[in-house]
Amino acid sequence: MVKWFIAILGYFVFRLPGAIIGFLIGSFIDNSYGRTGGRNVFQEFTRQEVSPADFELNLLSLCSIVIKADGQVSQRELDYVRQYFLSTYGKEKSNAIFRTFNEVVKNREVSAQRICTYLNQRTRYEVRLQLLHFLFGIAQADGAIRPKEIEKIKEIAGYLRVNSYDFESIKAMFVKAADNAYKILEISKSASDAEVKSAYRKMAKKYHPDKVVTANEAIKRGAEEKFKEVQKAYEHIQTERGI
């Protein structure tokens, strides 16, 4: 079952042309998750939240795009995604997700921009931040985040309407540099002690796991990890400054 799981994801990462690995959600719901009245969900702009089925499949497409970004598809990256789905949904549901993905992408291809446009209409900003966190985790799974992977995730961040400060903050949690702690808190190294404390409070509130309203357990766990990184950044600066 594990080999089958990897094989499907690997097939689409390697075989589908260009940087497009995506899909329109509408037609697949008939097969696995119930009908939506025959409408393409991209047209259902009155919906305020993305359903778990839609979210999972859109997330899988974004995973595939990032894995393919540097042209060096890594088994570790494929395993990272596989483990995510298995640990979050279990074998039965994970297999159903991949089977649906398999059927949909045979006939439909949508760019990352289209996928993100869909998510923008149905997810809160905090959830989209955690999506970026997860995509960076995939890029890092093989031990190194390459420039093209960063470029692709930055492109996706733009489509998700994530501002540059938040993008750099998340990036700093994975791409290490001397001033990472300050980047995570979105302040300069010249910030006063009072400004550091204020920035920490702001970021702790902004990235608190309770802010992430989603049924997706892995994204919730990502929110907890990000919150811990904010805490660690603040503690690092405190230690560095002796405050």
Smallest CA-to-CA distance from 68 within 134, 153, 3, 127 is with 153
Smallest CA-to-CA distance from 136 within 182, 170, 181 is with 170
Nearby residues of 225 by Cβ (< 8 Å), 6 or more positions away: 133
154-178 per-position pLDDT tens digit: 999 999 999 999 999 999 999 888 7
What is the CB neighbour count within 10 angstroms for residue 243?
9
Query: What is the pLDDT at residue 56?
Result: 80
Query: What is the pLDDT at residue 170?
Result: 93
Top pLDDT among 13 and 26 is at 13
Amino acid identity for residue 29 in this structure: I
C-alpha–C-alpha distance, residues 17 and 30, integer Å: 27
63-113 per-position pLDDT tens digit: 888 888 888 778 888 888 888 878 777 888 888 877 777 666 555 565 799
Lowest mean pLDDT among 50-54, 143-147, 183-187: 50-54
Top pLDDT among 198 and 57 is at 198
Which residue range(s) make up the domain with 49? 2-241
Tokens coding 175: 């791409």
Query: Which of helix, strand or coil describes residue 164?
Result: helix
Lowest mean pLDDT among 81-85, 186-190, 211-215: 211-215
Amino acid identity for residue 193 in this structure: D
Q: How many domains does the chain have?
A: 1
Q: Where are the alpha helices (DSSP H) in 106-216?
A: 112-120, 125-140, 147-159, 164-172, 180-184, 193-206
Cα 186 to the chain's mean position, in Å?
20
